[in-house]
Amino acid sequence: MNVLRKAVRLLPALLGLALFCGAIYVVQKEFRHLKISDIKLAMAAIPPMSLAISGVFAILAYGVLTFYDRLGTIYAGNKVSYLRVCFASFCAYALSHNLGFAAVSGAAVRYRLYAHWGLSPLQIGKVVAFCSLTFVLGAGVLGGIVLFTEPTALPFIGQSVPIWVLYSVGALMWATVFSYVMLAKFMGSITVRGHVVELPHWRMALIQVALATVDVAVTAAIMHALLPPTPGLTYLKFLGVYLASYTAGLAANVPGGLGVFDTAMLLGLSPYLTPPQILGAVVVFRLYYYIIPLFLAGGLFTANEILLRGKGVLAKFAKITGASSLAMASEPDFAVAAGTSVVALCGAILLSIGVLEARPDFSWIDPDFADVAETAGQFIPSLIGAALVVLSLKMAQRVKLAWGATIVMLLVAAFYTTLEGEQSWITLVLLAAALLIAPFQSAFYRSAKLFSGPMDATTALALLGLTGCVIALAAFEPHVNWLENDSWWGVILSPDVPNSLRASVAACVIIGGAALGRLFRPGYVETRAWDQDARARFAALGALPPVEADGVVFGEAGRAAIAYRHVGGVLLGLGDPVGAPSDRTSAIWRLRDLAGQEGLDPAVWGAGPMMLRIYANLGLSALKLDENGMPAAEVEGGDHDASPHARYLVCKAGRDLNMLLPMLPKIIEQP
């Protein structure tokens, strides 16, 4: 059962990897003659007026998104001022657009900001759910229009699926949207897995549908404005290609759908435009809708965090918003999530250089060095790109060693791309990424397995494996530097390279990536049995130990602890961690890691309001407990949640709540 559960959790990542590899293969096979010089010419050919119109659409698109959050806070019962909504919405969407649905997305940003502005955890959850559903409604309306008017415009399926099937799917999309509005009008709520979900008022539901439709249409118009007038390519046909490509990018679970979205756009628009024209528009679209907003939001949120570190400003802000000093002093979650996104994006850029640039030009520097540098081609940056993707995953787990190694990798890659001369924009992105994550060392507090204790056999094997792979790849490189695209994946896909060499390069990259991930993973979580010594140490941290527990896990510094019990498929923490506030967050993360080691889901019964943001970052939902210690029905307005004495059950409600409910009384009965 544990193996099956782990396999199911890996499915989104495996799907994303398959789609990303498929995208690389398609581009390499169908558009192998693409050159970055042609794309630059295509970008230069975009009229200034088109660039300006596209920029206006990008601003309008993010402006429309602010009304998602505005309506969401009204629906949640705690209306927030529009200026605050704008700030939260822009930061959250700039992050989620680049991260995709597989990562933390914008929920952590919304939780951090809206919690400061007086919303309860359940209210914030309502805002997040409202915003997530709104896009789906707009895609359903426009998707139905496209399927009824231009069904053959869809890439992949438009020419191969019977027309009646496409009409049926379009009708189903409209029926789903219509049913949502009717449910809101006549029922007001629905029950999902035993939970009552309140729907917005039907008038708000109509506004929600209209707003979402405008949002999707305007976002598509950002790129449509960048394309040259083309016979046969109407806006509706383009909209069909865009919706299919965007959906494929979401399903891929890679940052911003990078590679998958672009390849789908290439295939869908290839009957009308040349590949350089399409990619030139895609690059500008990503610049307007992804990259610029991400760095702007990162800068705004970083400035906000730095300002809040001042005690005077912190106290004033807390007085105005009613937030507690402890909650305000928490580490910058947005910096971690945004840093993860940017690093993954940089890795993907370095991986894809070989698609666009056949051979970097080093002729402008010293001839002796140029010979050595040109020999490397795309081999070095593509390997650094793969390493950055792995390190971004470890940064998401807040591993300090991954933070330091990532900065070094980014600087090395920036130095290398600087030598190429024509890739200055990549250099700027890499340096900006390093500067973005550099100030937030304190947010990465978890020790890597490599340095968390005595070196065991698996760690030594991973270290030897990584070293051996690096040496082997260095030895393989002279045998493939004659290729036009000598990135490591270009070598693997090239039919001109012996199969033995292709297999060897593939094996080295796979083994090296796995070894790198193992070395940089958080240290193995050791626990202590719930014996007399453990109880005494727990009590020494300043809290009454529970009577019954299966064990206790301590924070990274050993100054905070949380007792736990095994309850079915859940590792249930018994209350918030006790001990030093600076070590409590790491104790929660280690509880989560311990659950992962044992193939269980983490949960905490009796959690207080101060740590709910941390639990939310782990993907856990907060359910307020009543006076009997059982999950209570939500009270309108959420004022009761503001009490510092409120207690919660935090868990993966959709998966574990029904299993926990009958077992909680036995836990509550203990003194």
Global pTM value: 0.62
Provide the pLDDT for residue 359: 47
Q: Where are the domains of the chain?
A: 2-321, 331-519, 528-669
φ/ψ of 524, rounded to 5, equals -60, 135
Average pLDDT over residues 251-268: 75
pLDDT confidence tier of residue 145, bands split at 50, 70 and 90:
confident
For the cut 90, the answer to whether the pLDDT of residue 59 exceeds it is yes
Average pLDDT over residues 335-342: 72
pLDDT higher at 503 or 397: 503
Which helix (H) or strand (E) is 579 found in, with range? strand 578-579
CA–CA dist 96, 62 (Å, integer): 13
Across the chain, mean pLDDT equals 77
Note the pLDDT tens digit of each residue in 233-257: 888 889 888 888 887 777 766 666 7
Residue 433 burial (CB count, 10 A): 28
Average pLDDT over residues 395-405: 86
Q: Which of 186-200, 305-319, 370-384 comes out lowest in average pLDDT? A: 305-319
Provide the pLDDT for residue 38: 67
Average pLDDT over residues 126-154: 81
Residue 253 burial (CB count, 10 A): 22
pLDDT confidence tier of residue 410, bands split at 50, 70 and 90:
very high
Is 662 in a helix, a strand, or coil?
coil
Provide the pLDDT for residue 221: 94
386 Cβ neighbours under 8 A, 6+ residues apart: 347, 351, 488, 509, 513
DSSP summary character for residue 670: -
For the cut 80, the answer to whether the pLDDT of residue 643 exceeds it is no
% the chain with pLDDT above 90: 8
Provide the pLDDT for residue 325: 33
CA–CA dist 101, 103 (Å, integer): 6
CA–CA dist 148, 142 (Å, integer): 10
Closest C-alpha to 75, from 3, 133, 149, 8 = 133
Closest C-alpha to 336, from 652, 585, 577, 590 = 585
C-alpha count within 13 angstroms, C-beta hemisphere, residue 53: 13
CA–CA dist 301, 307 (Å, integer): 10
> In this structure, what token pair is assigned to residue 478?
């002279």
Beta strand pairing call for 578-579 and 560-567: antiparallel
Note the pLDDT tens digit of each residue in 277-295: 888 888 889 888 887 887 7
For the cut 90, the answer to whether the pLDDT of residue 380 exceeds it is no
Average pLDDT over residues 46-62: 92
Closest C-alpha to 507, from 460, 468, 546 = 468
Angle (deg, nearest 10), helices 311-321 and 292-308: 100
Provide the pLDDT for residue 193: 55
Provide the pLDDT for residue 640: 40
- Residue 271: alpha-carbon gap to chain centroid: 33
Q: Which of 341-350, 419-428, 453-462, 608-617 comes out lowest in average pLDDT? A: 419-428
Provide the pLDDT for residue 556: 79
Angle (deg, nearest 10), helices 202-224 and 48-76: 160
Provide the pLDDT for residue 53: 94
> In this structure, what token pair is assigned to residue 349?
């850029």
Locate tokens 């914030």: which residue?
A: 124
Provide the pLDDT for residue 604: 92
DSSP summary character for residue 544: P
Provide the pLDDT for residue 362: 46
Is 651 in a helix, a strand, or coil?
strand
Q: What is the 3-state secondary structure (H, E, C) of 606-634?
A: EECHHHHHHHHHCCCEEEEECCCCCECCC
pLDDT higher at 315 or 659: 659
CA–CA dist 127, 148 (Å, integer): 32
Average pLDDT over residues 419-423: 60
CA–CA dist 122, 127 (Å, integer): 9
pLDDT confidence tier of residue 472, bands split at 50, 70 and 90:
confident
| Architecture of the 528-669 domain | 3-Layer(aba) Sandwich (3.40)
Closest C-alpha to 517, from 351, 393, 618, 383 = 393
Provide the pLDDT for residue 63: 92
Provide the pLDDT for residue 18: 61
pLDDT confidence tier of residue 58, bands split at 50, 70 and 90:
very high
Q: Which of 48-62, 461-475, 489-503 comes out lowest in average pLDDT? A: 489-503
Average pLDDT over residues 635-654: 64
CA–CA dist 342, 99 (Å, integer): 9
Average pLDDT over residues 422-443: 79
Q: Which of 83-87, 124-128, 452-456 comes out lowest in average pLDDT? A: 452-456
312 Cβ neighbours under 8 A, 6+ residues apart: none
Average pLDDT over residues 369-384: 64
pLDDT confidence tier of residue 11, bands split at 50, 70 and 90:
low
Average pLDDT over residues 63-77: 88
Provide the pLDDT for residue 324: 37
Alpha carbon separation from 55 to 299, 468, 570 (Å, rounded): 20, 49, 49
Average pLDDT over residues 56-75: 90
Provide the pLDDT for residue 370: 47
CA–CA dist 547, 549 (Å, integer): 7
| C-alpha angle 427-430-434 in degrees, rounded to nearest 5 | 135
Note the pLDDT tens digit of each residue in 570-589: 999 998 999 988 888 888 98
CA–CA dist 366, 370 (Å, integer): 6
